[in-house]
Homo-oligomer: A and B are copies of this chain.
Amino acid sequence: MLSAKMEDYLKAIYELQRESDEPVATSRIADLLDVTAPTATSMMESLAERGLVEREKYKGVRLTPEGETVALEVVRHHRLLETYLTEELGYDWAEVHDEADRLEHHISEEFERRVAEMLDDPAVDPHGDPIPTDALDPVDETAGTTLVEATEGDRLVVQRVSDRDPEELAYLDEAGIVPGTELVVEEVAPIGVVSVALADGEGTVSIPDAVARTIFVDATDGSTGSATEAA
């Protein structure tokens, strides 16, 4: 019923929407999907006509409940596929995003069901992203804080990292920073870099803000707790 393209736009809006409460601007969508602004505008008109987004001209769009359901379905496919490719087909977690990004639009509900079953209904994907349930209930995508918001001395556990950039993922993997890794914040330098020590004694890693912003962390027991406050 919906084209793969429309699904892509809805997923993009879903992802942008979790960055703030503002309506999502046309240009952000165009950027993310690598199309021109007029293209995004005209797609927003179609989506609005179908009741999948609410649109205020010159302001931006927001997913309607129906639009969010479609987005959640696509996101569920994406994250289940990433998990499946990693667990069952031996993909590296850095490689799975593009494959999942194509297949997410073409698998059947039957395929989704069987994969979920084989993986025993996983709650998170290899990057720590939460997998929407079969019922497509809204998911809290903003749980936790990001590493840029941490302060020196914080003891943290990595919860999730962005799955977008394979190079970044490969680097983090190499450095030993994956969901579940415990680390201590050594320095938050004012020039835009955060240095963390791996809790298992594997050394120190310096992470630029742009990357730190995509790493979600939780305080471990015994922390100051500052990591749970917003910046």
Contact = CB atoms under 8 A, between A and B. Distances in A.
Interface of A: 85, 88-91, 95, 98-99, 102-103, 105-108, 110-111, 114-115, 118
Nearest to A111: B99
A176 B85 CA distance: 34
Nearest to A89: B114
Contacts of A107: 99, 103
A137 B4 CA distance: 33
> Assembly of this chain: how many copies?
2
Given A89-B118, A103-B103, 6 more contacts: A89-B115, A91-B110, A95-B110, A99-B107, A102-B108, A103-B107
B95 A114 contact: no
A90 B91 CA distance: 21
Nearest to A114: B89
A222 to B, nearest CB: 42
A108 B108 CA distance: 18
A102 B99 CA distance: 15
Given A88-B88, A91-B114, A114-B90, A106 B103 contact: yes
Contacts of A91: 110, 114
Contacts of A115: 89
Task: Give 6 closest A-B pairs by Cβ, nearest first.
Answer: A89-B114, A102-B106, A106-B106, A99-B108, A103-B106, A99-B111
A91 B111 CA distance: 9
A89 B111 contact: yes
A203 B28 CA distance: 66
16 contacts: A85-B111, A88-B88, A89-B111, A89-B114, A89-B115, A90-B114, A95-B110, A99-B107, A99-B108, A99-B110, A99-B111, A102-B106, A103-B106, A103-B107, A105-B106, A106-B106
